Amino acid sequence: MNILKKYVKILIIICILFCLISNCTYLYAVTSSELNQQQNELDSKIDGIKSEIAGTKEKMTTALNQIDKLNDEITTYKGEIKQLQGRINDVEAQIKIKEEDIIIQEEKYKTQKELLDKRLVALYESGSTSYLDMLLSCENLSDLISKYYLIEELAEADEELLDRISNTQEKIKAEKDYLVSAKSEIEENKKSLKVKENSLASSVSQKQSLVSNLTEEEKELQEQLEEFEEDKRIIQAELAKIAAEEAKKNNNQVVTAPSACGYIFPVYGCSRSNINNPNYPSYAKHTGIDVNINVKGKSIVAVKDGTVVTSTAMRNLKGQYKSFGEYVVINHHDGTMTLYAHMLSGSRTVSPGDKVTQGQVIGKVGSTGNSSGDHLHFEVRIKGSPVNPMPYLP
């Protein structure tokens, strides 16, 4: 019996106990408030073991918790390494451009210097003749005007040439200074990169050691957890790309404030009281909230007008549901997107590109993917990344 089946059985037993105790309470409770109080106590007990596999602590052995922590470290190191390598590549590209520009500027400086040298030689060969001598030697008014403008043009040309030479020298110096700084930055980044790569290798080695000692059931759960996290990263990247493209079209629109979004509740006939745990996040890797109190089979609705960007069923190579299972993502064109996951198999009623209106049914509450009970996993995302959904809900 694998871990999932074991905890499904525990959940069924608790549900049966819940029904028996509820019946007893009905016979002996004096008021409806007592019934509600006892039901809430039972709900709290059930909530202790009823959640997505990705966050079910009861299934996480010490080894799995250690692997999960190492996976976080590995992901962080990989991200930092990618960022450092990207920065190194960017700086190296800039260095190449600057080096090419320095060659051009030095060639320009050489040409300007040659012009200046010729000008100085010409002035030297003219002896002591000055601009004043030229003007005094004029034969008539017409000659005076002609020479005056010639002198003015020569003076301007000399001044402009000197300015160009000075500017070119300053630019060459600035770009050479940049090269020194950039090359120093690259060396520092490469040192940091080496440290991160060593840390990554250490974490990977520790993980491999732990994985080699896992039971078959633990290995199965570990693979599911890692696959789920990878799927979430892929989804986040895809949604971030969509958000960036839309922001570019709309001149980087400001995301609507939660209070102004005008969302309705995502499960028809339900409210905040149907949320399993309104705290966000309810555990480290939980990217949304779970609506799972008395919601089995209920209709899931669009919280606001928008366009469907994703409507699919996530399955593994064996054709079994995985990760978010049947899920839908809607772009509300106000800077936010909403995600609805673990829908009932075959209940999705929308396709990518569909325009939906607020309150339109898009599926039904189910338990597909990494889920151990009927519930709706609901997320609000900005720029592809999940944020706390609670401020957006009525």
Would 228 be classed as within a structural domain? no
For residues 85 and 40, state if they share a domain: no
pLDDT digits (tens, 9 = 90+) for 303-315: 999 999 999 999 9
* Amino acid, res. 161: L
Domain-terminating residue out of 200, 229, 263: 200
Rounded Cα distance, 148 and 134, in Å: 9
Does residue 227 contact residue 323 with C-beta atoms inside 8 Å? Answer: yes
Rounded Cα distance, 108 and 256, in Å: 52
Rounded Cα distance, 339 and 381, in Å: 8
For residues 328 and 256, state if they share a domain: yes
- The mean pLDDT value of the chain amounts to 76
For residues 6 and 100, state if they share a domain: no
Q: What local confidence, expressed as pLDDT, does residue 61 receive? A: 67
For residues 348 and 262, state if they share a domain: yes
Confidence class of residue 357 from pLDDT cuts 50, 70 and 90? very high
Rounded Cα distance, 83 and 89, in Å: 10
Would 382 be classed as within a structural domain? yes
What DSSP letter does each residue of 81-145 carry, written as one string? HHHHHHHHHHHHHHHHHHHHHHHHHHHHHHHHHHHHHHHHHHHHHTTT--HHHHHHT-SSHHHHH
pLDDT digits (tens, 9 = 90+) for 234-276: 888 888 888 888 877 777 666 667 877 899 999 999 999 999 8
For residues 165 and 84, state if they share a domain: yes
For residues 150 and 283, state if they share a domain: no
Task: Retrieve residue 387's tokens.
Answer: 């944020």
Q: Tokens 């049914």 — which residue?
A: 361
Would 133 be classed as within a structural domain? yes
Would 239 be classed as within a structural domain? no
| Residue 331 to residues 78, 257, 262, 352, 354, Cα–Cα distance (Å) | 30, 16, 14, 10, 11
For residues 146 and 46, state if they share a domain: no
Q: 284, 281, 387: which is closest to 71 by C-alpha?
A: 284
Rounded Cα distance, 118 and 338, in Å: 72
For residues 390 and 260, state if they share a domain: yes
pLDDT digits (tens, 9 = 90+) for 124-150: 555 544 545 545 555 555 544 554 555
> Which residue range(s) make up the domain with 29?
1-50
Domain-terminating residue out of 140, 167, 200: 200
SS3 30: coil
Would 245 be classed as within a structural domain? no
**Range with the lowest mean pLDDT among 5-14, 232-241, 360-369?**
5-14
| Residue 207 to residues 5, 201, 222, 319, 332, Cα–Cα distance (Å) | 26, 10, 11, 28, 41
Mean pLDDT over residues 192-205, rounded? 86
Rounded Cα distance, 100 and 16, in Å: 77
Would 33 be classed as within a structural domain? yes
% of the chain beyond a pLDDT of 90: 25
For residues 177 and 286, state if they share a domain: no
HSE of 370 in the Cβ direction (CA atoms, 13 Å)?
23
Q: Which helix (H) or strand (E) segment is 151 a member of?
A: helix 141-211
Would 230 be classed as within a structural domain? no
pLDDT digits (tens, 9 = 90+) for 32-78: 455 455 445 444 444 433 344 444 444 456 777 777 778 878 878 88
CATH number reported for the structural domain that contains residue 379 in this entry: 2.70.70.10
Helices (H), 212-349: 216-249
The number of distinct structural domains making up the chain is 3
For residues 270 and 386, state if they share a domain: yes
For residues 304 and 345, state if they share a domain: yes
Would 65 be classed as within a structural domain? no
For residues 165 and 296, state if they share a domain: no
